[in-house]
Structure 1
Amino acid sequence: MAQISPDRIAVSTWSLHRLLGETYPHDLTTSEVGPMQETYGAGEESLLGLPSVLANHGYHRLEIVSFHMRSRDPIYLAELRDQLRIANVRLQTLLIDAGDISHPEHGARDQAWIAGWIEVANELGAENARIIAGKQKPTRDALDRSVKALTALADGNSGSSVRLVTENWFDLLAEPAHVHYLLDKLDGRVGLLGDFGNWGGPDKYSDLKSIFGRAELCHAKASFLDGDLDEADFGACVALAEEAGYKGPYTLIFDSEIPGEWNGLAIERDFIKSFGI
């Protein structure tokens, strides 16, 4: 095709956290949503209003970070789902952004907490729910605790249209061998969301290429310096993903003071399109 399909471009609420302003930090000891904090100021838009704004900017896939949700009340969830439907925006992923199922002491607690958020993903009609595989050092015991917990979460979500995925993130999955070990043990029960920005070092590109053949989703995070896109790094990441056979959507991740959130997202989107994929 001449250019990347718009259906392969998504936006995360993380990229619009200055626009949204408010967050609702998680407390893993309760299923209640925490009190509002103006983490990035008062904000200019609510999460309920975001789908129509997103559509007006030409985006029709959205990922919502769990700490951007002010309520888990069924009425609020139904209203958010309606706003997504009216704006013709697909809820690609609910990013469950806390918990450590690999923790030897708190893993069971966090697993139960995450299960509650998977229920939220189902109520919202999300296509995917991203779970953190764990934050412990990648010992065999920690990896196996994660496999056991992820398997149980997948069992609990059996029959749902929501696909569970995890991410190459934190110490547990800080290198390809551990990602492959986990996914092999899970035998397709849980998928992979590959993130460009979570790994670094001299082997960053070869490491990412090693896992992107298995990725179903991608966080396409780019770096900006004085408002200018780091084209060399971002281009290398997009190229390695395509070379590895990645066929999923690219979720634009922007986190810089300049050139502004919508402008930064447009720069990332247009750069990906320039590949003529």
Structure 2
Amino acid sequence: MAQSADRIAVSTWSLHRFLGTTYAHDLTTTAIGPGEDTYGEGSESLLGLPSVLANHGYKRLEIVSFHMRSRDSIYLAELREQLRIAGVTLQTLLIDAGDITDPVNGARDTAWIAGWVEVANELGAENARIIAGKQQPTPENIERSISALRQLADANAGSPLRLVTENWFDLLSSPSVVHEVLDRLEGRIGLLGDFGNWSGPTKYQDLASIFPRAELCHAKATFADGQLDEADYAACLSAAEGAGYKGPYTLIFDADHPHEWTGLAEERDFILSRLDQG
């Protein structure tokens, strides 16, 4: 059980209500604006989260960029220290905006993302997730994506930080394009596979196609009236494990019910029960 538990992480995306405040992204500047109580008042700050997370038995964290109130070096150092004290590993900084395939603003967004990659390095994150593109997967847009991702990888060369992208938005909406982009990047960018981004009759087949190359996973479960959809979650896990996935499972919870910590615990326990059976 302990070894399996080491494969569990939590994203701040799953703790919207607990954190409350978000900081909207403005792609025209590196500054972070005033916070908004998007999800209510919140119970804890991001700086206080590592110790709370550890108290709940979680040792790996992913931070969404819009949960960070500052990019100031003093703040980043303080957050890194709180993670160290709590014994929580910063698995990934999720850079949650920008479109490197935008025909007008792609270069601007690539530069903006590069700034967040520097933040991830300063925080000591293991990974930084970059959106590969929000445009349709035309040959021209695929070229834009690959060119920008190469540029970001070049700028990050020599760093222990691993850059990854995700099967998310229009560009990477099918296994064939995921494979094409990653193949052409020749290992310079990794894959974060997300259970919740794809749907339809070929969902599990499509996940099984990409998970042999996944290094990270967003293990999102569906909840209806507070009840976890066990059939869907089990099928997603089977697709990943059957493909040989051995990385961490980051719990993604965004339902109204049950309580966030309760929902996370249900996801964790479901995954661990399946891993232990294996």
The alignment's TM-score, normalised by the length of structure 1, stands at 0.98
1:34 paired to 2:43? no
Within-5 A mapping of 1:162-173: 162-173=161-172
Task: Give the Å deviation of 1:53.
Answer: 0.0
Check conservation: 1:193, 1:217, Cα contact below 8 A. yes
Cross-structure match for 2:242: 243
How many angstroms apart in 2 are the aligned matches of 1:137 and 1:5? 38
Which residue in 1 is equivalent to 2:10?
Answer: 11
Deviation at 1:34, TM superposition (A): 2.0
Identity of aligned residues (%): 74
Is the partner of 1:137 in helix, strand or coil?
coil
* Residue identity matched to 1:151: R
Deviation track 1:123-145 (CA, whole Å, cap 9, x = no partner) reads 00000000000000000110111
Deviation at 1:4, TM superposition (A): 5.5
Residue 150 of structure 1: aligned partner: 149
Runs of 4+ in 1 over 3 A off after TM superposition: none
Distance 1:200 1:160 in 2: 35
- Please tell me the root mean square deviation across aligned C-alpha atoms, in Å: 0.8
Map of 1:110 onto structure 2: 109
Contact 1:8 1:249 in 2 (8 A): yes
> Secondary structure in 2 aligned to 1:46?
coil
Q: Is the contact made by 1:126 and 1:162 (CA closer than 8 Å) also made in structure 2? A: yes
Report what 1:160 is aligned to: 159
Task: Specify the code of the residue in structure 2 equivalent to 1:260.
Answer: H
Distance 2:179 2:41 in 1: 42
Give, in whole Å, the separation in 1 of the partners of 2:266 and 2:129: 26
Distance in 2, Cα, partners of 1:182 & 1:113:
21
Aligned residues: 276
Q: Which residue number in structure 1 is paired with residue 23 of structure 2?
A: 24
Distance, in Å, in 2 between the alignment partners of 1:271 and 1:241 is 15
User: What is the letter of the counterpart of residue 114 of structure 1?
Assistant: I
1:94-105 aligned at under 5 Å gives the runs: 94-105=93-104
Aligned position for 1:126: 125
Letter in 1 for 2:232: D
- How far residue 5 of structure 1 moved from its aligned partner, in angstroms, is 1.7
Name structure 2 gaps, 5 residues minimum. none
Q: Give the distance between the partners of 1:41 and 1:264, measured in 2 at CA.
A: 19
